[in-house]
Amino acid sequence: MMIQRLSRRPLGVLCAMALLALAPAAHAQWKWRDADGRVQYSDRPPPPGIADKDILSRPSNTQRAIAMPAAAGASAAASAASAPARAASEVSSRDKVDRERKAAEDKARNEAKAENCRQAQNRLRVLESGVRLRSGTESGESQPMTEAMRQEQVRQMQSVVSSNCN
């Protein structure tokens, strides 16, 4: 019985080492959002039609794998000749990043305007409904809203609606 136990250990250690050797390959996962908005996982890069902004995760060794062949096999003349092309590529990629950032800022600004519009319209409806309202004073106390206060609030909400709602 002792002999069987000893013979199983090297086999178990060998299996464990094989599994550990495969672990880095399991971490080399790509994660991207497809055209339908679903998140996809793969050990291969996404199809060429997927935009960079939709790539959610890349393997950590991707940059090194791309840079090594260029450094190993390229001569000094070839790298000097490709420098202008790389510079132009970097400029275009920076422009693309700037455009995407600007589009994201515009989208956030438009969403904020839409939310401000919705809130102002709701507040205006409440003010115009004739329901008795209370307002806070500077000392933090609550007091009934006078008609003059209500009209001032209505004017403010109308200006917010006119500036934020299209």
* Residue in the structure block whose two tokens are 């609550």: 142
pLDDT for 135 equals: 86
56-69 confidence digits (pLDDT tens): 888 876 543 343 34
Rounded Cα distance, 128 and 154, in Å: 7
Rounded Cα distance, 157 and 123, in Å: 7
pLDDT for 44 equals: 86
161 domain residue, yes or no: yes
65 domain residue, yes or no: no
Average pLDDT on 106-115 reads 91
16 domain residue, yes or no: no
**Domain limits for position 104:** 86-166
- Sequence-separated (6 or more) residues with CB below 8 Å from residue 143: 134, 135, 136, 137
12 domain residue, yes or no: no
Per the model's pLDDT, the better-predicted residue between 131 and 67 turns out to be 131
140 domain residue, yes or no: yes
pLDDT for 166 equals: 75
CB contact at 8 A, 29 and 42 = yes
Q: Is the pLDDT of residue 155 over 90?
A: yes
SS (H, E, C) 117-156: HHHHHHHHHHHHCCCCCEEECCCCCEEECCHHHHHHHHHH
136 domain residue, yes or no: yes
- At 73, the pLDDT band (50, 70, 90 cuts) reads very low
The DSSP H or E segment spanning 19 is: helix 2-27
130 domain residue, yes or no: yes
* Residue in the structure block whose two tokens are 């956030």: 108
Global confidence as pTM: 0.41
81 domain residue, yes or no: no
Q: How many domains does the chain have?
A: 1
- At 70, the pLDDT band (50, 70, 90 cuts) reads very low
Q: Please compute, for residue 57, the number of CA atoms within 13 A of its CA located in the half-sphere on the CB side.
A: 11
Per the model's pLDDT, the better-predicted residue between 4 and 138 turns out to be 138
Q: Please compute, for residue 99, the number of CA atoms within 13 A of its CA located in the half-sphere on the CB side.
A: 8
Q: Is the pLDDT of residue 103 over 70?
A: yes
* Residue in the structure block whose two tokens are 């060794």: 61
